[in-house]
Amino acid sequence: MLPPYQKYIIWDCETERLNLHYNLPWELSWVIYNGNKLISEHERFIDIPDLSAKLSPIVKKLTHFNEERYNDLKKPAAAIYEEFNSYLSDKNYINIGQNILNFDIYILNNLRRFMGLSSDYNYLDRSIDTRPLGIAWKEGLPKPNNNESFINWQYKILNDRNLKAKASLKALAKALNVKYSAEKHHSGIYDVKLTFDVFWELKNKLSL
């Protein structure tokens, strides 16, 4: 089981669109927990050239994009990534997100390429995705055995097309009786804090 005072970084990207190979994150949000105690909140806006023109009206509405606020708060990618990676690359932290294994890790790697850095997934074995956890709980699946890594177990669930349980952040929050606001969903800090609440409930239900 996870120790009671495990350190966690919960993170999420907001992107230009949904292309895994080219899109960049314009917002990177993360929160730090020690056990279930919130330590700090971080909401950062990344300076992406001509961002507003790249965002469709639907994406702007969905992600609560405020161009004036973005322009006031945006910073160079390198400064934001260095701050974020000081937690992500720290082996004392487990990193958590909703659908990060199929989406956010690739968007984050696009940011590295944008900065002229090579690909890096060294943190992957310390990753927990609430989506496969939610599917496992809803489908009544057993935890990984001693011969299977936790990351492989998660990917196996994500790639099993026979599993039909709905495991979006909204669906999991409602199934777990975690307070949910449709108006705030897809807003950086709200999403990562909601993801942690969902994770904590799943952690207890799955005896992780």
63 falls in which pLDDT band (50, 70, 90)? Answer: confident
* Beta carbons of 4 and 34 less than 8 angstroms apart: no
The one-letter amino acid code at 118 reads S
Residue 1 lies in a domain: no
Task: Give Dmax over CA atoms of the chain in angstroms.
Answer: 52
Q: How far apart are CA 40 and CA 206, in angstroms?
A: 26
Q: What is the DSSP letter of 126?
A: G
Query: Does residue 30 fall inside a structural domain?
Result: yes
Give the span between the Cα atoms of 158 and 130, in whole angstroms.
11
Instruction: Indicate the SS3 state at residue 29.
Output: strand
CATH number at residue 140: 3.30.420.10
180 found inside a domain: yes
In a domain, 2, yes or no: no
Buried b (16+ CB within 10 A) or exposed e, 176-188: bebebeeeebbbb
Say if residue 35's pLDDT is above 90.
yes
Domain that holds residue 115: 7-205
Of 18 and 101, more confident:
101
Nearest to 133 by CA among 96, 180, 162, 94: 96
Pairing assessment for the beta strands 93-97 and 127-129 based on DSSP bridges:
parallel
pLDDT at residue 79 in the model: 97
Report the distance separating Cα 207 and Cα 197, nearest Å. Answer: 15
pLDDT in tens, 127-179: 999 999 999 999 999 998 888 999 999 999 999 999 999 999 999 999 999 99
pLDDT at 193 over 80: yes
- Given a cut of 80, whether residue 29 has pLDDT beyond it is yes
Task: Supply 84's token pair.
Answer: 């974020």
Pick 57 or 81 by higher pLDDT.
81
Whether 199 contacts 96, CB under 8 Å: yes
Question: How far lies 12's CA from each of 3, 16, 28, 118, in Å?
Answer: 24, 14, 6, 21
61 lies in a domain?
yes
Residues recorded for the chain: 208
Q: Which of 65, 51, 151 is nearest to 100 (CA)?
A: 151
pTM: 0.94
198 has pLDDT over 90:
yes
pLDDT at 190: 93
Query: Does 64 have pLDDT greater than 80?
Result: yes
Rg (CA), the chain: 17
For residue 115, being part of any structural domain is answered with yes
Confidence grade of residue 62 (pLDDT, cut at 50, 70, 90): confident
Q: Are 105 and 121 in contact (CB under 8 A)?
A: yes
Quote the number of domains for the chain: 1
